Amino acid sequence: MLSEHRCFEGIQGFYRHDSQVIGLPMRFSVFRPPQAEQRPVPVLFYLAGLTCTEETFAIKAGAQRRAAELGLMLVTCDTSPRATGIPGEADDWEFGAGAGFYVNATQAPWSRNFRMYDYVLDELRATVLNNFAARPDRVGIFGHSMGGHGALVLALRNPQVYRSVSAFAPICSPTRCAWGQKALPRYLGEDRSAWEQYDAVELIKAGGRQVYPEILVDQGLADKFLHQSQLLPELLESACKSASQPLRLRRHEGYDHGYYFIATFVADHLLFHAKALEATA
């Protein structure tokens, strides 16, 4: 335990553990709502975007008040391994430290530590379930930008684990945008079929069916990365339509890519997940 803070009658905590998957210490945060003092509660994992850490959402999103009202546990993690010793790991904000893209790297030297997909899916989830009053049958996931990509991919590939999914301004198709085309070959090699396993649009197209009752996505229309074709929500919309996967894609005039946008709509996402998780049999 690094620190714990009373927050809306719950506890906002920051923690470090030795990760067997990553092979290095990893940091994460947990907001325990007041209901967790009496019983296990639904748990919602949040994946942050490029350059962020386990602290970013907890500090900037203002989500704890609504999570306390709804009885939701909130978990965040770092966006990559840190201090791996790989030369140049922190030279580029779009790749390496702070930019793990939630994939299991297969290419040296990144494959030694950059296994964020398995870390989030298995080790972080098990760590939370084993140490906090979280319900293993009531788990949701959401995220922002690179983390929105990660949340969509993890949910689409593991619907038996994650019962609800949403995203803020996600990278919907990293195989088709500059961010993904920089990172994926360096993490995964040149085989594009390996990239497609981490592309929400490709996963929905390949599945060709409804996976979730609904997916919620919010996108700001003043988002510079939208206009740079990094996010491509229209491709997600088209893929969901073809697969009969219900998607609530909300476009918001005047909102950019940052945490003022997230703070504005985070309560809607928490309510969306709370309803879905409580409705789960």
Q: Is 257 a catalytic residue?
A: yes
Give strand ranges (E) for the chain.
3-7, 10-18, 25-32, 41-47, 73-77, 134-144, 164-168, 215-220, 247-252
Q: Is the peptide bond before 109 cis (omega within 30 degrees of 0)?
A: yes
145 is catalytic: yes
CA dist., res. 40 & res. 56, Å (int): 25
CB 35 within 8 A of CB 19: no
Q: Which of 19, 29, 145, 166 is catalytic?
A: 145
Query: What is the C-alpha to C-alpha distance for residues 179 and 187, in angstroms, rounded to an integer?
Result: 12
Active-site hit among 19, 78, 173, 257:
257
3-class SS at 77? strand
Query: Residues 6 or more apart from 260 whose CB is under 8 A from it?
Result: none
CA–CA separation, 247 and 216 (whole Å): 6
Whether residue 223 lies in the annotated active site: yes
- Residues 6+ positions from 127 with CB-CB distance below 8 Å: 17, 28
Catalytic one among 29, 173, 223, 273?
Answer: 223
> Which residues are tagged catalytic?
145, 223, 257
